[in-house]
Amino acid sequence: MTRTRSLIAGTAAAVTVVVLFFGGVFSSSREPTFTPVEQPPTVIAGQDTEAVLRQLLEGFSTGDTAAFVRQLEAEVEKNPNDANSLTVLGLAYQQRQRETGDPAYLTLSEKALRRAVELRLDQPLATTGLATLAVARHRFTDAVALARQALAQTSEDATALGALGDALLALGRYGEAFEAFDEMAVLSPSIASFSRVSYGRELLGRPEAAVEALAFVFELRLTVPEHEAWTRVQLGNLFFSTGRLEKAEQAYERALDRLPGYVYAEAGLARVEAARGEYESAITRLRDVVHVLPTAQHAILLGDVLTAAGRDGEASETYALVGAIDRLLTANGVRTELQTALFDLDHDHDVAAALERAREAREAAPGINADDVLAWALYKNGRCNEARELSVRALRLGTLDPIMLFHRGMIEACLDNEETAHTFLTRALEINPHFSFIHAAEASEMAQELAA
């Protein structure tokens, strides 16, 4: 029995699972409760659903999702009333969207999954797929309702629990979200559950514990190369966010060993190169990344590195891609107010309009990220007293995100709270002196000015 399995199976492990996974800190006024089990239960009961999941995993394990999707499309064309094939196709479309960045796959996923639900009302996996789709589209209230609907049909649906927790996090309902992740980890020791444990620990300001949670993944039997590569990229991101460039580089390189050309690992290596001042290499690598996977995140990263390298004209051309990408996302049902507001604020584009979008985003999903972006928007619009209230709220979990700490430091400086401002700015730089290719230098200059 592997170490990972032993954390789940057996009476002692069942009793201590919250401490092992979450360090006992994911609860506030009450502890999540669990029923001790001798063996982890089946993730989703039902022979048809198990067949769907098996077909999905086998298709992904080939490493050629595009061919798998074409095969599924042919099956659905031959039998358009096959709910199981439609469900697999809908979920595979979501994987293709992650691989290509093309939001049109989200619309295709919705069509396939809604048709599957129409044909088979007792197919909870299709409803779960709609919940994960709602999360991908940042429609978190809808995601909660769909996930709960799936769980009402099958209470042991770990994927639905994950979607539920993701949505609750965005809505700022952290206690409920962490309980969902607790339960998910008991039901399904997997990449999906361990990565959520890791992210929860990161939110709570425990980066080392977050790394430990991801380490559990490597004790699983991983048959899909992308799964291991993705996990190693998350590990690299954790190391980068805490300023450990060598460890981050090693994690990204190991991801590429497992899956050569993996675009997220290439983007990670580019960040490491840029942090070391190796701009030409980073820019070349990022141009390839944007060509392969033209997401707003990658386009902004390339633009910021070009800016840091003093190539402002090229940066402006790259930033123009962000608007085009946003229009495609919006056309396919994705809410982008929070992301576009932060981009405009960081690059001083119509900060008044960005403030309105930040308000709209926080009204829809009042989590700490929305608190932080709205605080930054208020600061950029000269409303520093209001900004401080939101910034305090954004840091209420103890999150050690250098960007959030930088925002708080700049807000405190705006209010002439020099000592507090210096504390937050230096803390951000201590955690990761390369936390932003456009703001790190500003943070350093302000900290030095405040210390003088």
* Block residue for tokens 């950029």: 380
What is the pLDDT averaged over residues 359-364? 97
Q: Is residue 213 part of a domain?
A: no
Read off the amino acid at residue 24. Answer: G
C-alpha–C-alpha distance, residues 140 and 98, integer Å: 18
Show the domain range for 343: 336-452
141, 171, 196 - which closes a domain? 196
Answer whether 2's CB lies under 8 Å from 40's CB.
Answer: no
**Residue 14, C-beta contacts closer than 8 angstroms, at least 6 positions apart:** 8, 34, 35, 36, 37, 186
The answer to whether residue 204 is domain-embedded is no
Q: What angle do CA 340, 425, 204 make, to 5 degrees?
A: 70
- For position 8, what pLDDT does the model report? 22
- Residue 6 to residues 2, 26, 220, Cα–Cα distance (Å): 6, 22, 12
Give the total number of structural domains in the chain: 2
Q: Is residue 441 part of a domain?
A: yes
- Range with the poorest average pLDDT among 55-59, 104-108, 237-241, 295-299: 55-59
280 located within any domain: no
pTM above 0.75, yes or no: yes
CATH number for the domain including 180? Answer: 1.25.40.10
At 318, list the tokens.
């790259």
107 inside domain: yes
Asked if residue 325 belongs to a domain, the reply is no
- Average pLDDT of the residues of the chain: 87
Query: Residues 289-305: pLDDT tens digits?
Result: 999 999 999 999 999 99
In a domain, 249, yes or no: no
The pLDDT assigned to 25 comes to 29
201 falls within a domain: no
Look at residues 196, 215, 248 and tell me which one is the last residue of a structural domain. 196
Which of 173, 196, 219 is the last residue before a domain boundary?
196
Confidence (pLDDT) at 26: 33
**pLDDT by residue (tens digit) across 194-249?**
999 999 999 999 999 999 999 988 888 777 788 899 999 999 999 999 999 999 99
Give the pLDDT band (50/70/90) at residue 123: confident
